[in-house]
Amino acid sequence: MGGAVSAGEDNDELIDNLKEAQYIRTELVEQAFRAVDRADYYLEEFKDNAYKDLAWKHGNIHLSAPCIYSEVMEALDLQPGLSFLNLGSGTGYLSSMVGLILGPFGVNHGVELHSDVIEYAKQKLDFFIKTSDSFDKFEFCEPSFVTGNCLEISPDCTQYDRVYCGAGVQKEHEDYMKNLLKVGGILVMPLEEKLTKITRTGPSAWETKKILAVSFAPLIQPNHADSGKSRLVHLPPVAVRSLQDLARIAIRGTIKKIIHQETMSKTGNGLKNPPRFKRRRVRRRRMETIVFLDKEVFASRISNPSDDNNNSEDIEDERREEEETKPSELKPDPPVNFLREKVLSLPLPDPLKYYLLYYREK
């Protein structure tokens, strides 16, 4: 699946294309997509394809196309503080974007069949927390992943506000998926070759909406051949945050507010990032002339003999002229992690500073 939008040169350009095609329609979803670089979830040798609107699979590792994830994120209608369950959580790419919206008081759980993919997802999550400046722009609901078949979730598990299944659901498992939802919750899953949004409006009342045609690999059925018994999947408990952790969230939130107020007083506007400017790509077309003589038609190319020689020179001249005439003040400054700078400047012991920064590398 995929290929609905043009390939981007980087993550921001991919998101620009998804917005232009109306796959991304809300600011919250856009911010989450821009904050998590899709290429970081690819193996190094495949990163050239990261910004194409295509699915990617290597062994057990799988990523859906960006246009699919966009529709899923929009359909889930995520809000801070909600609980989320990702069935077939894979690389953790979607779970990380969801965690940015849920905030520190949400719940973010994932179930993945393959243990090697769980390890891969944990590595990618650790890399995001330690290296991405976007991590400091949000209060993050860190995903927790468990290994197992999502069709064998323990019946005494808690229900969730939002549920997504990343594999094709057979009709006989529809009710099973619905029962994972709280009243008022939203379930998004591929059902009968359609990405489907189901809202639980009451204890036994549902609203169903088909979003778009999709093609997903079907859910893998439980295999009880070894022991004859099912292996129940126990989801992570809903953890209560420690007082120390709550203090860190409060301190970081206060510092962010101060930074935002200082930025507003300096710039006089609410722009979080300077606008991006792209150089227009100029395509030259060779003109052809069609000549009519009596009842016969002749198509001939009429051009100046020097055109071919000067063509590459003209393009180079135009490119150089564009670069020279572009005002230097329009080029965005390198990003600065103001939160990190502010924390490091505080009159606090170093261990406390590092704790506030989640012990991230400088």
Per-residue pLDDT, 322: 63
Q: Is residue 45 part of a domain?
A: yes
Name the nearest CA neighbour of 214 among 24, 25, 57, 55. 55
Q: Is residue 309 part of a domain?
A: no
Q: Are residues 162 and 249 in the same domain?
A: no
Distance in angstroms (rounded) separating the CA atoms of residues 338 and 304: 57
Q: Are residues 43 and 191 in the same domain?
A: yes
Domain stop point among 239, 274, 295: 239
Does 64 participate in catalysis according to the annotation? yes
Helix residue ranges per DSSP H, 164-242: 174-178
Distance in angstroms (rounded) separating the CA atoms of residues 145 and 164: 14
State the number of CA atoms in the 13 A half-sphere of 248 facing the CB: 18
The residues with which 75 forms a beta bridge, in sequence order, are: none
CB 95 within 8 Å of CB 89: yes
Share of the chain above pLDDT 90, in %: 67
Per-residue pLDDT, 360: 78
Q: Is residue 184 part of a domain?
A: yes
Pairing of strands 289-293, 205-213: unpaired
Q: Is residue 28 part of a domain?
A: yes
- Find where tokens 């945050």 sit: 241
Residue from 6, 64, 303, 328 carrying the catalytic annotation: 64
Q: Which of 11-15, 111-115, 242-246, 311-315 has the lowest mean pLDDT?
A: 311-315
Per-residue pLDDT, 277: 44
- Give the CATH number for residue 218: 3.40.50.150
Mean pLDDT on 187-216: 96
Q: Tell me the average pLDDT of the chain.
A: 85
Distance in angstroms (rounded) separating the CA atoms of residues 118 and 149: 13
Q: Are residues 150 and 55 in the same domain?
A: yes
Q: Is residue 158 part of a domain?
A: yes
Q: Are residues 342 and 205 in the same domain?
A: no
pLDDT at 228 over 60: no
Distance in angstroms (rounded) separating the CA atoms of residues 208 and 202: 13
pLDDT at 161 over 80: yes
Q: Which of 44-53, 56-65, 288-297 has the lowest mean pLDDT?
A: 288-297
Per-residue pLDDT, 226: 56
**Sheet strands (E) in 135-204:** 144-147, 160-165, 181-191, 194-202
Per-residue pLDDT, 284: 41
Per-residue pLDDT, 5: 75
The b-or-e profile of 92-101 (16+ CB within 10 A means b, else e) is bbbbbbbbbb
Number of structural domains in the chain: 2
Per-residue pLDDT, 293: 45
pLDDT at 177 over 70: yes
pTM over 0.85: no
Q: Are residues 235 and 256 in the same domain?
A: no
Q: Are residues 38 and 143 in the same domain?
A: yes
Q: Are residues 23 and 99 in the same domain?
A: yes
Q: Which of 104-108, 136-140, 328-332 has the lowest mean pLDDT?
A: 328-332
Per-residue pLDDT, 22: 95
Please classify residue 199 by burial: count the beta carbons closer than 10 Å to its beta carbon, then call 0-12 exposed, 13-18 middle and 19+ buried.
middle
pLDDT tens, residue by residue, 302-354: 444 445 555 566 566 666 666 655 555 555 666 788 999 999 999 999 999 99
Q: Are residues 166 and 190 in the same domain?
A: yes
pLDDT at 290 over 70: no
Per-residue pLDDT, 289: 43
Q: Are residues 34 and 70 in the same domain?
A: yes
Q: Are residues 115 and 251 in the same domain?
A: no
Q: Are residues 174 and 258 in the same domain?
A: no
**Domain of residue 54, residue span:** 11-222+230-239
Q: Are residues 188 and 256 in the same domain?
A: no
